[in-house]
Structure 1
């Protein structure tokens, strides 16, 4: 069995890219011959990772793997036209090559609900896939409304619990931990979806009741003028530990040393970071915009008062432990079944 993963690969360390990286490692550890076609903006050398930066380069590489009969697993958000074009191009006719796609974004239902043409294109793009993996029930329901057969869809979180392995804490992480009596952590992105403004409002309230609190933020956009302006206007500039962009293992090291991890998003699929926090035994507070794993403290989306209250509850309760699903074995079994079906189908055709 040979598996090609198609999707973003770190850096940067977004949710899809991290899952592709973890799934790649999980399959390799299980002895599966696996490669990654990296369509993101990374390019850092990694074993068995092929960076492609132009449509022509992508097409040539993909065609070679399809011709050789690799099982191809596409990972994409599903919340923009580029994502659906990727889905469509990877589903071209290739009888010897089973196809699987995971759709990751919590924005997908709203994107598809916007117009009939989007739903029709999505149904057509997914027709060439043997199985479609939806990271949440909401994503599954949106796909079913498009006309994707329900029996074709597998709902499973894009998470490999066995790969949650914190690295060494950087000096900056160690210093942040030492400076703060209570250290919260949050993954940042400049998109409003990540809830920066809401978190800053809640942090001001938390600090009024918990002297010595700090918020460690990491991710893209933390050096921007907009970020610093929002911090000043919210009165939380002195409460921030700005760690810029971290390698994923370092982000896990920060998370493991934090008193709570916060996910104040306005939309979500199945956030890897939430499951990572719970796997590490770190209390996690997240918005109620989607179904969260058991053990998560949820707050009403957009409500800074409720967010602050749930952070207090989480801190008072202390360390927790959540169940850690692992997509690695589940997907490996799926690949094996599809490979056997393809071989059997080829043998039947040859006998006719």
Structure 2
């Protein structure tokens, strides 16, 4: 079995990139010949990870893998034109190669719903794929409204529970833990989708009831003027632990040491960080903008008071016992079945028909 994963690879440590990294690690542990075509911004070299930085590089590399009959699994958001161009180029006719795509973004339903032409393009772009993996029922329903055959779409979270492995706790994490009686954590991004202002308002409320509370924030943009302005206006500067961008295993080390992990997003697909917190036995509070996994405490999206109340509830009740899903074995089995169908069909991708 030979599998090419196409998508972002850390750094930066976004959800799609982390899933690609974890799935790649799982396949390598199983002895699968697995390669990543890294179409992201690039970072440290890694075994069997090929960075491509121009459309020409990407096209040449992809064409070689398709010609050689590799199973190709594309990972993309599905919430912008660039994402759908990626889907279309990887889905071109290649009789020897089975194609799978995972669509990750909770913004996908709104993106496709805004335009008939977008839905038509999505239908054409996905025609060459044997399977389309939606990370949530909302994404699945949006794809079906585009005319994607129901039998082609499967729903499974983009999460590999077996790969949740916290790294070594850094000095900064230890110091943040030492300073705070109650330590919350939140993954940050400059996009308003991540709910920074809402979290700051809720933190201000929590500070009035929980002496010694702190919020550890990690991710890009924590030192921007906008971030600092929002912290000042919400009067939460003294309650923040700014850890900047963390390598993923260190982010897991932080989550493992905090009292609760918060996901205050305005839109979401199936957030890896929520499942990671639950897998680590950490209470998790997340907005109700999508179906959250069993064990998560949910609050009404956009409601700072409800967010604060759910954080207090999570701290009082603690984590739930959960069984984490693992996409690794599911996809491993799917790759094998599709490869077998190609051989039986004499080179024709009958699963895509």
Matched residue, 1:245: 245
**Alignment-derived partner of residue 177 in structure 1:** 177
What is the DSSP-based 3-state SS (H/G/I as helix, E as strand, rest coil) of the residue aligned with 2:158? coil
Structure 2, unaligned runs of 5 or more: none
2:165–2:249 CA contact under 8 A, matched in 1: yes
Q: 1:304–1:129: structure 2 CA closer, same or farther, 3 Å change rule? A: same
Matched, 1:286 2:289: no
2:223: which partner in 1? 223
Mind listing any 5+ residue stretches in structure 1 that lack a counterpart? none
Corresponding residue for residue 144 of structure 2:
144
Alpha-carbon distance in structure 1 between the residues aligned to 2:35 and 2:311:
41
SS in 2 for 1:253: helix
Is 316-325 or 261-270 further displaced after alignment? 316-325
Q: Contact 2:5/2:36 (CA < 8 Å) preserved in 1? A: yes
CA deviation map 1:164-208 (0-9, x unaligned): 000001100000000000000000000000000000000000010
Offset of residue 321 of structure 1: 3.0
Distance in 1 (alpha carbons) for counterparts of 2:223 and 2:327: 34
Structure-1 residue corresponding to 2:323: 323
CA drift at 1:348: 8.4
SS of the aligned residue for 1:346 comes to coil
Corresponding residue for 1:68? 68
> Does residue 270 of structure 1 match 2:270?
yes
The offset of 1:347, in angstroms, is 6.6
SS in structure 1 of the partner of residue 346 of structure 2: helix
What is the aligned-residue RMSD (CA, Å)?
A: 0.9
Deviation per residue, 1:141-183 (Å, 9 max, x gap): 0000000001100100000000000000110000000000000
Residues 282 and 321 of structure 1 are in contact (CA less than 8 Å); yes or no, is this contact kept in structure 2?
Answer: no
2: CA distance between counterparts of 1:318 and 1:168? 24
Q: Tell me by how many angstroms 1:346 deviates.
A: 1.1
- Deviation sequence 1:67-100 (CA, Å, 0-9, x none): 1000000000000000000000000110000000
Match of 2:297? 297
In structure 1, the residue matched to 2:204 is: 204
* CA displacement 1:294-322 (0-9 Å, x = unmatched): 01000000000000000000000123332
Whether contact under 8 Å (2:96, 2:347) holds in the other structure is no
User: How many pairs were matched up?
Assistant: 349
Superposed CA deviations along residues 89-124 of structure 1, whole A, max 9, x for unmatched, are 000110000000000000000000000000000000
Asked whether the 8 Å contact 2:267–2:289 carries over to 1, the reply is: yes
Map 1:125-140 onto structure 2 (within 5 A).
125-140=125-140
Structure 1 residue aligned with 2:115? 115
2:19 is matched with which residue? Answer: 19
Alpha-carbon distance in 2 for matches of 1:271, 1:243: 20
Determine the C-alpha separation between the residues in 1 that align with 2:322 and 2:22: 19
Match of 1:124 in 2: 124
Which residue does 2:191 correspond to in 1?
A: 191
- 38-47 or 258-267, which deviates more: 38-47
TM-score by length of 2: 0.98
**What are the Cα deviations for residues 270-300 of structure 1, in whole angstroms up to 9, with x where unaligned?**
0000000000000000000000000100000
